[in-house]
Amino acid sequence: MSIAEIAKKFHAEHRGNCAMSVAYGYAQATGKSEAESVAAAEMFRSFGGGKAPDGLCGALYAAKMMQPDHAEAIEEFFKRGAQGFTKCSEIRPNKIIPCNRCVELAGEALDFLQD
């Protein structure tokens, strides 16, 4: 499964917030155990719901933290799918895309880097 698919499923099953879901998906897709993946997700518990630095979407923030050397490319990829927006306070209230799509989009950005 892709990072995007794993992260989206984790989020849909209400196992964690958007940032946790991306961290979990990345860990699983890169060969970490279930325990290691859950631990990676837990590190991002406080970054969902608009609480990431600078109000960034938590899913985007987690993706950038997973691949910091590619943070700019990840953000550009995410922006294309989110009508140019990156902040939770812009995306959620204006219903630009649903949170689960933010998770999937951030995962797709990471998947693109893996190819």
pLDDT tens string 94-105: 999 999 999 999
Show the domain range for 10: 3-114
What pLDDT is attached to residue 114?
79
pTM: 0.96
What pLDDT is attached to residue 115?
67
What pLDDT is attached to residue 59?
98
Total domains in the chain come to 1
Residues 6 or more apart in contact with residue 11 via CB below 8 angstroms: 17, 18, 21, 99, 100, 103
d(CA 65, CA 56) in angstroms, rounded, equals 12
